Structure 1
């Protein structure tokens, strides 16, 4: 692999990762439809949410939008990478505090599945 090819592949990867965050920003501007506090630590909470969401939507992604925040989202099935459901999790005194955002009619299924990880 040439140096130019390696740089190009790195740039493509960085763009793909930033697309997850930037398209999820649109959901963060909407009114949340769920929130709560989990007894789990953030990483364990995120792992639990991913397991609960996979039966609803097989494509579930996890990423860290900042140094103290974890996110789990379900990308839309269309050509855009915009997510249809997003949970933002941050460490709290009692475990993990979280907020759920979404723009789909069936978002209540994700909310109910997330609360099983409380």
Structure 2
């Protein structure tokens, strides 16, 4: 019984993660709104961004699209709509390099908030 529950939990988690990544794919194909480098390590940078974005949007999700990449995004309205803003962060020689993608109307305030984590 426990093994079945563990398998079910793993399947649900994998589905949820793939849903996050697939909804953000459209943003990754757009021109970035901002980029920069933070002196913080990736995990600390992402945590800071999430804290800065939460007052702007109550639903902020954090996930890891790959083993060397962290992401924070704000989903649009509804369960299946894509995110309105996304930041992708990876370790760099100087700390954390990041790129911000987003909807034209929403991205400006998120870019400003993200740069406070530099």
How high is the TM-score relative to the length of structure 1?
Answer: 0.90
List, as ranges, runs of 4+ consecutive aligned residues in structure 1 with deviation greater than 2 Å.
Answer: 1-13
What is the CA RMSD across the aligned residues, in angstroms?
1.6
Q: Is the 8 A contact 2:37 2:97 kept in 1?
A: yes
Query: Whole-Å Cα distance in 2 between the matches of residues 100 and 51 of structure 1?
Result: 16
Alpha-carbon offset, residue 12 of structure 1: 2.8
Query: Whole-Å Cα distance in 2 between the matches of residues 35 and 18 of structure 1?
Result: 25
Q: Is 1:31 the counterpart of 2:28 in the alignment?
A: no
Gaps of 5+ in 2: none
Change in 2 beyond 3 A, CA 1:2/1:33: same
Gaps of 5+ in 1: none
Q: Deviations over 1:72-113 (max 9, x none)?
A: 001112231521110000011111000000114021000000
Query: Whole-Å Cα distance in 2 between the matches of residues 33 and 100 of structure 1?
Result: 6
Change in 2 beyond 3 A, CA 1:78/1:36: same
How high is the TM-score relative to the length of structure 2?
Answer: 0.90
